[in-house]
Amino acid sequence: MISYKSQREIDKMRAAGRIIIQVFDLVGELVRPGITTGEIDARVEELIRSEGGKPSFKGYHGFPGSICASVNDEVVHGIPSDRVLKEGDLFTIDVGVIVRGYHGDAARSFAVGGVPDEVARLAEVTAQALNDAIGNCRPTKRLTDIALAVETQGRDHGYGVVEQYVGHGIGTQLHEEPQVPNYVSDELKKRDLVLKAGLVIAIEPMFNLGTAATKTLEDDWTVVTADGCCSAHFEDTIAITADGPEILTRPEAQLDHRIWTGSH
């Protein structure tokens, strides 16, 4: 069942989003060659708790970290560890925060030093796909409009559009209905819905330089590309209002805030 949020509930989710904004600012300062993903995880958890939040991911179905820390060919759910980031890596953090019982959820890919041009372009296009999708987060639009916006960017640039992992509703639960895929399928067309004010969703395109196929490693968490090519992942939590989208996990809450800061 889909839960539509009151303004009071959205305000609580906005508080979670503010902490996530601080997390991304911190990670932008931390990401450099020589730091481990475990060190980043520890610093992020310290920040979240110091601001009165709780990490959504820690202990979720047994997940051991406060963040998902994915590098290069790791698509999602990378476990923070003693892995050292190197020059040219693409580091993706996915983070959730709970404040007063309500979740926020977002992801960003960061360049570790200078990344290859093709990797920078992959991240840039994935970020643009998220923006295109958010532009459709307004009453009278449909879930299929969101999915098509993401899919179009990915297909037009020849990237693998990850299909197994999708966006989702969010609120008192980290994952709520509806599912928000990154491509239009016959199944999505059957369960398509008209967007209404009060719906809060997390949209999260994941594009791969090569095939869309993925596999899960023996840790039962880390999802990697099947061909070993790089993957990028961006995500925001968005409240649909009568006036259009409010991005709860960006400082200006608007589409013009830059979320890919790498260069090529």
With respect to residue 1, please indicate whether it lies within any of the assigned structural domains.
no
- pLDDT value at residue 258: 83
Q: Closest Cα partner for 147 from 174, 114, 118, 181? A: 181
- pLDDT value at residue 20: 98
Rounded CA-CA distance 216/193 in Å is 31
Percent of the chain past pLDDT 90, that is, above it, reads 95
The residue segments making up the domain with residue 166 are 7-247
With respect to residue 205, please indicate whether it lies within any of the assigned structural domains.
yes
With respect to residue 123, please indicate whether it lies within any of the assigned structural domains.
yes
Q: How confident is the model at residue 67 (pLDDT cuts 50, 70, 90)?
A: very high
HSE-CB of 245 using CA atoms within 13 angstroms: 26
SS3 state at 225 = strand
Which amino acid is present at 4? Y
With respect to residue 234, please indicate whether it lies within any of the assigned structural domains.
yes
SS3 state at 116 = coil
With respect to residue 259, please indicate whether it lies within any of the assigned structural domains.
no
- pLDDT value at residue 254: 74
- pLDDT value at residue 39: 98
- pLDDT value at residue 9: 97
- pLDDT value at residue 264: 35
- pLDDT value at residue 256: 78
The pLDDT tens digits of the residues spanning 38-60 come to 999 999 999 999 999 999 999 99
With respect to residue 160, please indicate whether it lies within any of the assigned structural domains.
yes
Higher pLDDT, 103 or 252: 103
Rounded CA-CA distance 232/32 in Å is 18
pLDDT reading at 263 higher than 70 = no
Q: How many CB atoms lie within 10 A of CB 250?
A: 22
Average pLDDT in the chain: 96
The alpha-helical segments, DSSP class H, found in 107-219 are: 117-134, 143-156, 186-190
Rounded CA-CA distance 112/222 in Å is 20
Distances (CA, A) of 13 to 121, 148, 181, 202: 32, 26, 22, 12
The pLDDT tens digits of the residues spanning 19-31 come to 999 999 999 999 9
With respect to residue 129, please indicate whether it lies within any of the assigned structural domains.
yes
Question: What are the tokens at 111?
Answer: 């360049």
Q: Do residues 16 and 98 touch, judged by C-beta distance below 8 A?
A: yes
- pLDDT value at residue 261: 79
Taking residues 75-101, report their average pLDDT: 98
Backbone angles phi, psi at 31, to 5 degrees: -65, 120
With respect to residue 58, please indicate whether it lies within any of the assigned structural domains.
yes
Domain CATH for 83? 3.90.230.10
Residues in contact with 133: Cβ distance below 8 Å, sequence separation at least 6, in sequence order:
146, 147, 149, 150, 203, 205
The pLDDT tens digits of the residues spanning 138-150 come to 999 999 999 999 9
Q: How confident is the model at residue 252 (pLDDT cuts 50, 70, 90)?
A: confident
The pLDDT tens digits of the residues spanning 148-197 come to 999 999 999 999 999 999 999 999 999 999 999 999 999 999 999 999 99
Q: Given the structure tokens 């305000």, which residue do they identify? A: 11
Higher pLDDT, 261 or 209: 209
Q: Do residues 120 and 263 touch, judged by C-beta distance below 8 A?
A: yes
Q: Do residues 4 and 198 touch, judged by C-beta distance below 8 A?
A: yes
Distances (CA, A) of 209 to 102, 175, 203, 218: 35, 27, 20, 23
Q: How many structural domains are present in the chain? A: 1
